[in-house]
């Protein structure tokens, strides 16, 4: 099976992502390796007589040196692999890996694991091309809605076991960091599906890992919540694009554009740009801003409004996909 095959790469990146997640968890919740290693250093000192201490200092210093670099080693567990993988794609296919799986066809679609996307960012200081959300009509305006498509951007869903203040214990993930890591956005729901867009807040994030199945949130969630959704925010300012119509293959948003539509987009940087969507667009993609102009790079979208045309242009499913733009 070729490395460019979607089935192969879906499995491969899941394993690499899990490896990174376990290393990450060991750093922030060191329940095994590091704790055991520290105990061995403490035992070394405890077993010494007074006259042995001076000669044993060099051994203790070696222990301490390894303890101090443990976090660096654990967090870099997949770094060189991802860098080499990117080089492989450039050398073999003349295309960076982040552009290879760009949703131009179903055969090259990969539902990225959150943990793999995070390890990729740490290795290459860039985001994988990914769907980051929807521009969704709530009846009066277009709003930003998290991406939940299992086709393009695998988001992790967990059942809640217990809620204790800001600490939430979930089931179904081992390690817990394969569900969510520090900085990930958490949306709680009382049912087994995302709540309506008006009830979604993107302000609750993961601030720590308590043990193998508990995460610490930046604020409390409703005690009636039964399900958690984890969304990994992008880390680098990026160019964005809308996908629609012929691009509906990517995430099941609108299937057709019935008339021209103009949308004012307010980026998180405070920059405003108007995006004109046309029925003559052959690719179903439209840049949000001007590509290769750094003015239009941002971490997200704060709001959107209709400048020209009508929301009826989007048909029955009034949603546009928002993607990090590929560089090809």
Q: For 156-180, what is each residue's pLDDT tens digit? A: 788 999 999 999 999 888 778 888 8
Using only C-alpha atoms, what is the Rg of the chain? 23
pLDDT band at 249 (very low <50, low <70, confident <90, very high): low
* pLDDT at residue 305 is higher than 50: yes
Q: Can you tell me which residue has the tokens 């509906």?
A: 248
279: phi then psi, degrees, rounded to nearest 5? -65, -15
Write phi, then psi, for 229 (nearest 5 degrees). -115, 135
Question: Could you give the percent of the chain with pLDDT greater than 90?
Answer: 25
Q: What is the pLDDT of residue 177?
A: 84
CA 214 to chain centre: 19
**pLDDT at residue 106, as a whole number:** 45
Q: For 198-243, how does the pLDDT look when each residue is reduced to its tens digit (9 = 90+)? A: 677 788 999 988 877 899 999 999 889 999 998 888 888 989 999 8
Pick from 135-139, 212-216, 248-252, 275-279 the range whose average pLDDT is largest: 275-279
**Higher pLDDT, residue 51 or 266:** 266
CATH class name, domain 156-231: mainly beta
Cis check: omega of the bond before 175, within 30 degrees of 0: yes
Query: Predicted confidence band at 253 (pLDDT cuts at 50, 70, 90)?
Result: low
Tokens 């008339």 belong to which residue? 259
Task: Provide the sign of the torsion angle of the four alpha carbons 22, 28, 31, 33, taken in this order.
Answer: positive
* CA distances in angstroms from 113 to 181, 225, 248, listed in the order given: 12, 24, 21
Which residues have a Cβ under 8 Å from the Cβ of 223 and sit 6 or more positions away?
163
59 secondary structure, DSSP code: H
Report the C-alpha gap between 78 and 15 in whole angstroms: 11
- State mean pLDDT over 176-189: 88
User: What does the buried/exposed string (b/e) look like for 15-53 if buried means 16 or more CB atoms within 10 Å of the residue's CB?
Assistant: ebbbbbbbbbbbbbbbeeebeeeeeebeeeeeeeeeeee
User: Is it the case that residue 57 has pLDDT exceeding 90?
Assistant: no
Q: Is residue 131 pLDDT above 50, yes or no?
A: yes
Q: Which of 184, 19, 18, 5 is nearest to 110 (CA)?
A: 5
Distance between CA atoms of residues 66 and 68, nearest Å: 5
Can you say whether the dihedral through the CA atoms of 191, 142, 126, 131 is positive or negative?
A: positive
pLDDT of residue 327 exceeding 70: no
156-164: strand order across its sheet:
185-189, 227-231, 156-164, 167-171, 214-217, 206-211
Report the 10 Å Cβ neighbour count for 174.
Answer: 14
Answer with the residue of higher pLDDT: 106 or 137.
137
Residue 104's pLDDT band (cuts 50, 70, 90): very low
Q: What is the pLDDT of residue 290?
A: 93
Predicted confidence band at 324 (pLDDT cuts at 50, 70, 90)?
Answer: confident
Nearest Cα neighbor of 173 from 15, 27, 18 is 18
């Amino acid at each position: 099976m070729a490395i460019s095959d979607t089935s192969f790469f879906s499995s491969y990146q899941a394993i690499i992502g899990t490896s990174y997640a376990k290393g990450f968890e060991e750093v922030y919740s060191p329940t095994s390796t590091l704790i055991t290693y520290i105990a061995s250093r403490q035992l070394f000192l405890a077993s010494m007589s007074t006259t042995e201490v001076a000669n044993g200092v060099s051994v203790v210093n070696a222990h301490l040196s390894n303890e101090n670099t443990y976090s660096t080693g654990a967090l870099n567990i997949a770094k060189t692999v991802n860098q080499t993988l990117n080089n492989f794609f450039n050398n073999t296919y003349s295309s960076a890996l982040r552009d290879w799986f760009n949703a131009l066809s179903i055969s090259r679609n990969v539902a990225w694991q959150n943990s793999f996307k995070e390890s990729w960012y740490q290795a290459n200081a860039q985001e994988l091309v990914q769907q980051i959300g929807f521009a969704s009509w709530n009846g009066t305006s277009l709003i930003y809605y998290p991406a939940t498509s299992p086709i393009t951007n695998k988001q992790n869903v967990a059942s809640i076991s217990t809620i204790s203040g800001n600490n939430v214990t979930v089931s179904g993930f081992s390690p817990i960091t394969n569900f969510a890591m520090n900085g990930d956005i958490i949306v709680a729901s009382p049912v087994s599906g995302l709540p309506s867009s008006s009830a979604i807040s993107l302000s609750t994030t993961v601030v720590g890992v308590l043990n193998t199945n508990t995460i610490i949130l930046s604020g409390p969630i409703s005690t009636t919540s039964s399900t958690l959704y984890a969304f990994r925010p992008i880390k680098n300012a990026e160019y964005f694009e809308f996908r629609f119509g012929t691009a509906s293959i990517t995430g099941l948003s609108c299937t057709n554009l019935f008339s021209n539509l103009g949308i004012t987009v307010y980026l998180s940087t405070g920059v405003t740009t108007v995006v004109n969507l046309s029925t003559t667009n052959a690719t179903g993609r439209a840049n949000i801003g001007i590509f290769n102009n750094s003015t239009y790079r941002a971490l997200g979208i704060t709001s959107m409004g209709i400048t020209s045309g009508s929301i009826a242009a989007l048909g029955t499913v009034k949603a546009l996909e928002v993607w990090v733009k590929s560089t090809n």
